[in-house]
Amino acid sequence: MRSAERRATLADVAARAGVSKSLVSLVMRHEPGAGTETRRRVLEAADELGYHPDSRARLLRSGRSRLLGVVFGIQHDFHGDLVTDLYAAARETGYEVALSAVTPGRDEREATAGLLQDRCEALILLGPQQPTASLVRLATRLPVIVLARGVRHAAVDVVRTADAEGLHQAVDHLVQLGHRRIAHIDGGRAPGAAERRRGYRDALRGHGLDRYARIVPGGLTEEDGAAAARVLLDDPPTAVTVFNDRCATGVLDVLARHGRQVPGDLSVVGYDDSRLARLAHVDLTTIAQDAGTMTRLAVRRAIDRIEGTAVARREVVVPPRLVVRGTTGPPIH
């Protein structure tokens, strides 16, 4: 019996089927040159031995890997949605996705280095925080597509949401409900945070409400949202827009613990329309980023760059969409 620890080889299949290795190779590549009976014997032998052709090794020998490297952050719920859709988008093109996570103990440079060692043909970076100069240096080695962050340099392709427009939609919705004192909990230095702050300020100004502008430091996590909510409770507005859905859930938790009704006492709007926002007990009004469209565009752009196809625009901006759920309503005072 063949050792369970040793992987079956092309030679093993050839010996079992009583044919040459070159004939087995033809059958495995689904190429002509083997008769029906020979093909049947080879496939039976391969099945009995548990042999599977190593397509990755064959690609590497040809100088190709057909791998798209993806760097994502585990702190971002929305990155999970993007990764899910990236797998689907890549599958449609015959490419595969290799993931590398950014964690509290593993920075973007380390995450990227691992993918370079895997010989990925392009990198898709989800909301990277490293400076533009670092991204440009990386783009001298292989195509770099930044997803969910703006980058002002011709060497780097970008697919992002119109973040400022998203905050316009959030503020417009709250104003239509009758709110005037609308605060914003921001995302600090996170990708997209500056654009969302700008959209918030511009929207208030457009409604003649800029005197009510109030930006409270926030962040990416529930803890950041909770800390910001405690600040707001000292002088509460009637509504608040929040950098992302995860931060917004921290706001909702603090409001509940202090007996404040949502949306009665305070309306809350998140950002991303992540799976968290769609949970029945959260039911968060939010600004949706079109993850399916963004990931398809990112994968297509990566392949265009790999294949040397001309592209019309370096940056593609995808419109956001307001999703109204249960955390917004008219002010009661």
Higher-pLDDT residue of 43, 174: 174
Q: How far is CA 320 from CA 30, 70, 196, 227, 273, in A?
A: 45, 23, 12, 27, 10
CA 186 vs. chain centroid, Å, equals 20
Given a contact cutoff of 8 angstroms between Cβ atoms, the answer to whether 121 and 68 are in contact is yes
Name the token pair of 76: 């971002």
> Binning pLDDT at 50, 70 and 90, where does residue 25 land?
confident
> Binning pLDDT at 50, 70 and 90, where does residue 53 land?
low
Q: pLDDT tens digits for 252-282?
A: 999 999 999 999 999 999 999 999 999 999 9
Flag whether pLDDT at 1 surpasses 50: no
Please, what is the Cα angle at 332 between 326 and 333, to 5 degrees?
Answer: 145
Flag whether pLDDT at 205 surpasses 90: yes
CA distance 284 to 249: 8
**Lowest-pLDDT range, 32-36, 123-127, 281-285?**
32-36
Q: Which of 195, 188, 140, 149 is nearest to 170 (CA)?
A: 195
Flag whether pLDDT at 248 surpasses 50: yes
Higher-pLDDT residue of 188, 10: 188
Q: pLDDT tens digits for 164-203?
A: 999 999 999 999 999 999 999 999 999 999 999 999 999 9
